[in-house]
Homo-oligomer: A and B are copies of this chain.
Amino acid sequence: MTAKVNRQWRLAARPVGLIKESDFKLTEQPVPEPGEGEVLVRNLYLSLDPTNRGWCERDTYMPAVKIGDVMRGGTIGVVEQSRNPRFQEGAVVQGLLGWQDYAISDGTGLTALPHNESIPLTAYLGLFGHIGLSAYFGLLDIGKPKAGETLVVSAAAGAVGSLVGQIGKIKGCRVVGIAGGEEKGRWITGELGFDAAIDYKAEPVLDGLKKHCPDGVDVYFENVGGKILDAVLSVINIKARVVLCGLISQYNATEPQPGPYNFGNILIRRARVEGFIVTDYMNRAQEAIADLAKWLAEGKIKYRIDVVEGIEQAPLALNKLFDGSNKGKLIVKF
């Protein structure tokens, strides 16, 4: 790596609707020197996630990124210089190091990744990272599916949704995925083993639910919100659990969005709707990783990644998470 400059994507404006190129500004700076206790990391991979859209606009479970600041983002990188005894030069690390070629870190929130030839680094941004943990803890800890129950998952061909459905199958559920387009439906019912797919672009979701969930819905893993949530709420069973992982249909909204019109069904069906944020589960990561690694080795879990080449693509690539065009975990390769 011979770059002498550090390219940084800085937030230039609060986006309205989908990201525009003018919402970010690519600046160049000299590569910084680490101070005492710090490391210099060269980023290799950047994770793009729906939650990034919220970070650009408003305080959520984290404060909004400030205008002019380097965009927040989860990355994997290699330690190029170290003045921190916890991290050796050459170590591969993971952290919130931002949309930039190089980052300085004092080690806070930085994790050294284990050396394991059989695990590609990108897996730490997916199956063994926040994606796998979201699917695992969201489904098992919040959704508490029981064998024989019907599990519905939205954005079912997405990074999290595709794992949720496969874990649901491992746990003995009937699994129905909602995803847009025939190709996604074929993938989740074919390679991933879902029992059925509902193509929201081809038929009303409620029709699909009535067809494929003859016994109603016991667990709904929600990534989308809006009309899809409304449709599912109309067919939930008594004591159903709705796991709120994401509401991507709303992240680009330019005006306040109503909650589900079938909200009253939560009461009538004595259902539970519960939100979670994966960062709350980081101290239990090893639990999830142990199971996920075992299932991966047994061939019970498959995943795919969608790699975008070049950090210059990052801002507009984020929109792929909202227009239905990405297939698998979205990652930018530096």
Contact = CB atoms under 8 A, between A and B. Distances in A.
Interface stretch (A151-159, A160-168, A255-263, A295-303): A255-263
Contacts of A259: 258-263
Contacts of A263: 225, 247, 257, 259-260, 263
A97 interface: no
Count this chain's copies in the assembly: 2
Nearest to A257: B261
Contact of A270 (B269, B270, B275): B275
A250 B260 CA distance: 14
A244 interface: yes
A256 B262 CA distance: 9
Interface residues of A, number: 30
A250 B276 CA distance: 28
Contact of A273 (B245, B266, B276): B266
A260 B225 CA distance: 13
Contacts of A270: 61, 274-277, 280
A267 interface: yes
Interface in A271-289: 271-277, 280
5 tightest A-B contacts by CB?
Answer: A259-B259, A258-B258, A259-B263, A267-B275, A259-B260
Given A61-B270, A258-B259, A259-B262, 20 more contacts: A225-B263, A247-B264, A247-B267, A250-B264, A256-B261, A258-B258, A259-B259, A259-B260, A259-B261, A259-B263, A260-B263, A266-B275, A267-B276, A269-B275, A270-B275, A270-B276, A270-B277, A270-B280, A272-B272, A272-B275
16 contacts: A61-B270, A246-B267, A247-B263, A247-B264, A257-B261, A257-B264, A260-B263, A263-B263, A267-B277, A268-B275, A268-B277, A271-B274, A271-B275, A272-B273, A272-B275, A273-B274
